[in-house]
């Protein structure tokens, strides 16, 4: 058995603008995980997941001489798992390695007991974990960067406008500054030149992932509104046709870049006061974007979450596309938070007991996969200080 895990993620700043190639964002990986267990099988492959119901999804290979390997899915829609399998199978085929069937068992800590998602990037996490599992299964020897690129290519085959920030956070862990590649160029290269060539094509030129120091002067809190949101729908409603870089949207992108750059400087200097001011500014920027586009980025619940944070001397904003899901708060380490948490609880806002997953911890993005049959879920019961770091 091969077992891989990938952490969830949270956007700290740079949402929406990061969808444009070269635009930056700040994200963190969190210590809730999606786990993939791979076991060899004989004449068919299966994917077992709560997302697919009680019966597994079965898949087989097509056999068209001279054509790229593709995957045939029975009675389930095309999704991120199948896309990751497809791209990894094509890479395996391009390298001339023999094909084998396998079963995947997927479990997630990125949602609640009823299956409602917390907005922690389960699609990205499952893609990263599947790529890691198949890298080990076929002994492909991919580097961390190559795993990220395979996971992002798999993602954009399903969601062409996805920035890949969540994929990067799940791959590299910790706090990161991320800029997206030209996904349109990547898709063109993938269709024209194949997987191997696309891993080093010119479409990656604008892409960067830079690790950032964890701020010792701040605590990260996460509140969940209980309302899931569709990132694709929200991003599609906000971005103008062909992502024009003029007018209001162009101004938004310029201000977003400046906001992210300021936050990065603040984190590197461990300047908690400036970082909180920047988070508040990033929130106002998203509010303005929502008003100009007519899209509810900051729902009533998210507004309440952030307003209460500001009233208690901290800084809060929606995380990701908004429209529901999570809000993040940066608070000084010496701030008493019980009154804020009590206020959240009284208004139906749930604090998620999560912290940052640091890259020095074992993670599949660092090729630290484990062969084990035991449960690989995130360790529970960490100290409050660690959980709020």
pTM of the model: 0.84
Classify residue 310 by burial, with Cβ atoms within 10 Å: 0-12, 13-18, 19+.
Answer: middle
Listed residue (10, 30, 112) closest to 328, CA to CA: 10
Residue whose pair of structure tokens reads 């660092």 in the numeric block = 366
Question: Per residue of the chain (389 residues), what is the pLDDT tens digit?
Answer: 999 999 999 999 999 999 999 999 999 999 999 999 999 998 899 999 877 777 788 888 876 556 667 664 433 335 899 999 999 999 999 999 999 999 999 998 887 766 667 788 888 999 999 999 999 999 999 999 999 999 999 999 998 889 999 999 999 999 999 999 999 999 999 999 999 999 999 999 999 999 999 999 999 999 998 776 555 555 655 665 554 555 788 899 999 999 999 999 999 999 999 999 999 999 999 999 988 888 888 888 999 999 999 999 999 999 987 665 799 999 999 989 999 999 999 999 999 999 999 986 444 333 333 323 233 333 333 333 333 33
Residues of the domain holding 352: 2-387
CATH number at residue 207: 3.30.230.10
- Coil, strand or helix: which one is 147? helix
What lies within 8 Å, CB to CB, of 102 at 6+ separation is 38, 39, 40, 41, 45, 134, 137
**Whole-Å CA distances, 347 to 283, 302, 337:** 20, 11, 16
Residue linked to tokens 């964002």: 25
**206 burial via Cβ count (<10 Å: 0-12, 13-18, 19+):** middle
For every residue of 261-279, which 3-state class applies, written as one string? HHHHHHHHHCCHHHHHHHH
235 close to 321: Cβ distance less than 8 angstroms: yes
Q: Do residues 278 and 321 lie in contact, with contact meaning Cβ atoms separated by under 8 Å?
A: no
Alpha-carbon span 215 to 218, nearest angstrom: 6
Number of domains observed in the structure of the chain: 1
Distance of alpha carbon 262 from alpha carbon 242, whole angstroms? 28
């Amino acid at each position: 058995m091969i077992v891989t895990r990938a952490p969830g993620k949270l956007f700290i700043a740079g949402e929406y603008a990061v969808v444009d190639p070269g635009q930056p964002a700040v994200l963190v990986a969190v210590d809730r995980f999606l786990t993939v267990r791979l076991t060899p099988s004989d004449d068919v492959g299966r994917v077992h997941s709560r997302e697919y119901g009680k019966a597994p999804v079965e898949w087989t290979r097509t056999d068209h001489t001279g054509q790229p390997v593709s995957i045939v899915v029975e009675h389930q829609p095309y999704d991120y798992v199948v896309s990751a399998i497809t791209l990894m199978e094509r890479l395996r085929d391009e390298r001339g390695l023999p094909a084998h069937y396998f079963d995947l068992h997927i479990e997630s800590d990125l949602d609640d007991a009823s299956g409602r998602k917390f907005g922690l990037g389960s699609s990205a996490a499952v893609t990263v974990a599947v790529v890691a599992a198949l890298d080990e299964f076929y002994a492909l020897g991919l580097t961390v960067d190559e795993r990220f690129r395979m996971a992002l290519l798999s993602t954009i085959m399903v969601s062409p406008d996805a920035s890949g920030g969540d994929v990067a956070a799940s791959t590299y862990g910790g706090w990161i500054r991320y800029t997206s590649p030209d996904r349109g160029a990547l898709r063109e290269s993938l269709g024209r030149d194949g997987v191997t060539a696309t891993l080093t094509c010119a479409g990656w030129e604008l892409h960067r992932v830079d690790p950032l120091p964890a701020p010792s002067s701040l605590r990260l809190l996460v509140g969940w509104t209980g309302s899931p949101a569709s990132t694709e729908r929200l991003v599609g409603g906000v971005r103008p046709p062909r992502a024009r870089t003029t007018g209001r949207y162009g101004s938004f992108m310029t201000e977003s870049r400046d906001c992210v750059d300021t936050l990065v400087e603040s984190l590197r200097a461990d300047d908690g006061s400036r970082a909180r001011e920047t988070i508040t500014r990033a929130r106002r920027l998203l509010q303005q974007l929502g008003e100009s586009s007519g899209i509810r980025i900051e729902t009533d619940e998210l507004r309440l979450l952030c307003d209460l944070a500001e009233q208690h001397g901290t800084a809060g904003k929606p995380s990701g596309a908004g429209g529901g899901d999570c809000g993040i708060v940066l608070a000084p380490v010496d701030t008493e938070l019980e009154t804020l948490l009590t206020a959240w609880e009284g208004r139906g806002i749930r604090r998620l007991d999560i912290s940052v997953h640091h890259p020095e911890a074992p993670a599949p993005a660092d090729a630290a996969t484990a062969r084990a049959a035991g449960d690989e879920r995130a360790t529970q019961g960490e100290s409050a200080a660690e959980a709020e770091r």
